[in-house]
Each structure stands twice: as C-alpha cells, then as structure tokens.
Amino acid sequence: MVRRDASPGEDTTSTERWWRTSSPQEAMLGQLAVLVDEANALATLLKAVPDEIIHGRPFDGVPSIREMLGGLVDLERGVRRANLSRFLSETEAELESGNVEPARQEDAIDVAEILTSLRESREELIEIAREVARTAWDRTRRLQGEEVTPIEYLNQVVQHDALVLRQVAERIHESLPAGLPGFTAH
C-alpha cells in the first residue's frame, strides 16, 4: 500500500508528495503511486460519462476507454510485475517488452471494477518496487537489447501510464463537446 505518513492537515496525495522525498527510490515510488490517484479521479469522472463513450471505439482498430484502462491492468498484472521481480532474481536478466494489445475486457466487467483492479495492481507493483529499492536498485537487466536499471525501467512505466491517461482524457474531452454534466471548465 502507498505510504500516507503526513502531518495533520498536510496533503497526502502522492501527486503532491513524490517530489519532496529524500531519495531517488522514494521519488520513483511516489511517481508510481500517481496512477492510484489518477484512477481514483477517473472513477469519479467516468460516472458522468455515457457508456457509449466508455465502451465505444472512435475508429476501427482504436481501443475504447475501457480497453485502454484494461490494458494497463493487464500490463500491471502480467508484464510489469514479472519484469520488476526479475530485478530481484540473481539469474534472470531479460525483461519482456510489454508491447501488448489493449485488453478486450469482458462486457460484464464494469469500468469501476477495472479501475479498482488497476489501483490494486499498482499497489502490488509498488510493493515489489519497494523490495527492489531495498535490495536490487543497482542491478541491470536487458530490455529490447539494452541494459536498464530499475529506475530506468520504472520511468518507462510512468511515461507509458501518462500517455494512456492523456489519451483517455483526450477521448473524454473530444467526445463531449458541451462538457460533462456537473463539471465545469476552469
């Protein structure tokens, strides 16, 4: 679970705290935790978005919002967790690329359940990252032919998350010309 050890009245969101840490490891763990905060924000926002926008594909071959978020869950549970664990192993040196197609989630699975799975999966990934930070921070592994450290690998994870979340936000923005009911533009 993400550490929430702030003074009373102090903002405890990882978005506000990650940059104030004392080490690169803690800063990276904080950046990873941003996805938990973003999933919480999306859960609220997506309640106001019509199902046809969440489930719909704007063009053939372009994933729906639901599929993009499900793809993040698949990456967290499969490729990312396994790759991070490989830094803990003394023998495994090759990481999987993580180039996966967006998930085709069962229609019965609600987007709120996908976001819950995303938060839980990220918290599990953060726990593995904590162990890597304690015991294997200086190790390298091969990813697509290049040596990477845990911080380099996790930076790629954070950048990919930001890209997907930006695409989700753009899709919502482009799909709702008048804005969302109950939300006002700043």
- What domains appear along the chain, each with residue ranges and CATH number? 21-175 (1.20.120.450)
- pLDDT score of 114 more than 70: yes
CB 72 within 8 A of CB 80: no
Radius of gyration of the chain (CA): 18
For 87-97, what is each residue's pLDDT tens digit? 999 887 799 98
pTM of the shown model: 0.80
Please report the pLDDT score of residue 15 as a whole number. 46
Categorize the per-residue pLDDT at 49 as very low, low, confident or very high, splitting at 50, 70 and 90: confident
For 74-84, what is each residue's pLDDT tens digit? 999 989 999 99
- Identity of residue 133: A
Number of H helices, E strands in the chain: 7, 2
